[in-house]
Amino acid sequence: MPHFIINADDFGYSRGVNYGIIDAHTHGIVNSATMMVNMPGAEHAVSLAKQHSELQIGIHLTLTCGKAVSDQVPSLLDNNGFFKIKNDPGQNQNLNSAEVEIEWEAQIQRFLSFGLTPTHLDSHHHVHSWPVLEQVIKKLSNKYDLPVRRFWEGEKEGLEAFSDVFVHTFYGDDLSPDYFTDLQENYHGDIRVEVMCHPAYIDEALLKGSSYCLQRSNELSILMASGRI
């Protein structure tokens, strides 16, 4: 039968996000999360992760949100040290991939410094799927022996996928309360299915910083109301 990985992105974004993810885990069906180590809520997320060791934790590589971890990536930053990269691969054809590698490796090293063992790599706004960064994610995936959130069909040489299927449809304004009941009917056999989600309690940081905000509260409600998967 399928193994479903219900992965909550943005762990570490803020306390409201962190508490939402933990409640979606302890009272719902979330069994995995990926952490943004560069955000203000990161250390709070680490503390919660260590209290809930059964929650699998990966690394949510970041390039479009918050401040950089490395001080050696000037082309990626504005004058205040925040990332200036937009969530649009078409605007980033000339992205300095060498600096991205430096920054992402710094993020991985920061995660490891917390004493946690990562399960996989993915990224905020799926930037690891941008063609200009394919060689960077391949290099880091192989160096740290970590699988990567799937963004390709079939096999991709040099990259191990975290799952056989990646589902990104649990997102938006019109989510059905029966989403996960319906989802289980679509998959059969011995496969790993990752479902991305973004549960949270709404706090000031989220209200001010994210365009995807109120929908996270609805996601949390559905995740906590869903039965076993």
- Per residue in 212-224, pLDDT tens? 999 999 999 999 9
Task: Give the pLDDT confidence score for residue 150 in this predicted structure.
Answer: 97
Task: Give the pLDDT confidence score for residue 1 in this predicted structure.
Answer: 87
Return the ∠ at Cα 5 (arms to 228 and 50), rounded to 5°: 95
Range of the domain at 199: 3-225
63 class by beta-carbon count within 10 Å (0-12 exposed, 13-18 middle, 19+ buried): buried
Could you give the CA distance from residue 64 to residue 51 in angstroms, rounded to a whole number? 29
Task: Give the pLDDT confidence score for residue 132 in this predicted structure.
Answer: 93
Could you give the CA distance from residue 63 to residue 214 in angstroms, rounded to a whole number? 23
The total domain count for the chain is 1
Return the ∠ at Cα 12 (arms to 153 and 125), rounded to 5°: 35
**What CATH number is associated with residue 143?**
3.20.20.370
Single pTM value for the model: 0.96
Ranges in the chain, pLDDT < 50:
none
- Per residue in 146-175, pLDDT tens? 999 999 998 999 999 999 999 999 999 999
Task: Give the pLDDT confidence score for residue 164 in this predicted structure.
Answer: 97
Task: Give the pLDDT confidence score for residue 190 in this predicted structure.
Answer: 95
Crossing angle for the helix pair 15-26 and 214-225, nearest 10 degrees?
A: 20
Task: Give the pLDDT confidence score for residue 120 in this predicted structure.
Answer: 98
Quick one: three-class SS letters along the chain? CCEEEEEEEEECCCHHHHHHHHHHHHCCCCCEEEECCCCCCHHHHHHHHHHCCCCEEEEEECCCCCECCCCCCHHHECCCCEECCCCCHHHCCCCCHHHHHHHHHHHHHHHHHCCCCCCCEEEHHHHHHCHHHHHHHHHHHHHCCCCECCCCCCCECCECECCCEEECCCCCCCCCCCHHHHHHCCCCCCCEEEEEECCCCCCHHHHHHCCCCHHHHHHHHHHHHCCCC
Cα–Cα nearest to 69, from 12, 107, 112: 107
Task: Give the pLDDT confidence score for residue 89 in this predicted structure.
Answer: 80
